[in-house]
Amino acid sequence: MATSGVKLLGARQSPFMTRVMMALEMKSIDYEVICEFLIIVQYIDDAWTNGPSILPPHPHDRATARFWAAFVDDKLVPLLGQLREAEGEDAKELVFKKLFEAFMWLEEAFINCSKGKAFFGGDSIGYLDIALGSFVGYIRVTEMMNETKLLDETKTPSLAG
């Protein structure tokens, strides 16, 4: 295999991505797939140092941001998917309960990370604001379709804000 240094960015499940992967395979071009959205965000942050930094500068804060971003991807997002599949009121109630719990954790994480400022990243948008913020539209649609509040101003005021 030729060592090309080609890096392919995109979702592995995407059929468009499959076309590119097939073409690279046919040409025996060695490539590396970066299919994790958040890894791309980290790469952008490392590669372009102009503009505000996305991840916090302090190692402890960086680790915390990565931890909660993984929580969003591994816990919150799958629960939103489960809501779609849940059949019957009881099953739906259970998913809602878990979703509220997840948002309560994120509320506490927000209070800790934002240190009284407007964003997880403090004064400006950071890694966690991107990780969770990209789902706000989806969350709002879910709220409308299920006639319920997920980001509740009374239960999770900081996060809702």
Which candidate, 27, 26, 34, 47, places its Cα nearest to that of 8? Answer: 34
The binding track of 40-79 with respect to ligand NAG, each residue x by CB under 6 A or -, is ----------------------------------------
Among 38, 40, 80, 160, binds ligand NAG (CB under 6 A): 80
Among 25, 30, 46, 108, binds ligand NAG (CB under 6 A): 108
Minimum distance between the CB of residue 26 and ligand NAG, rounded to whole angstroms? 39
Question: How far, rounded to the nearest angstrom, does the alpha carbon of residue 123 sit from its chain's CA centroid?
Answer: 20
Stretch that binds ligand NAG, among 7-15, 51-59, 106-114, 151-159 (CB under 6 A): 106-114
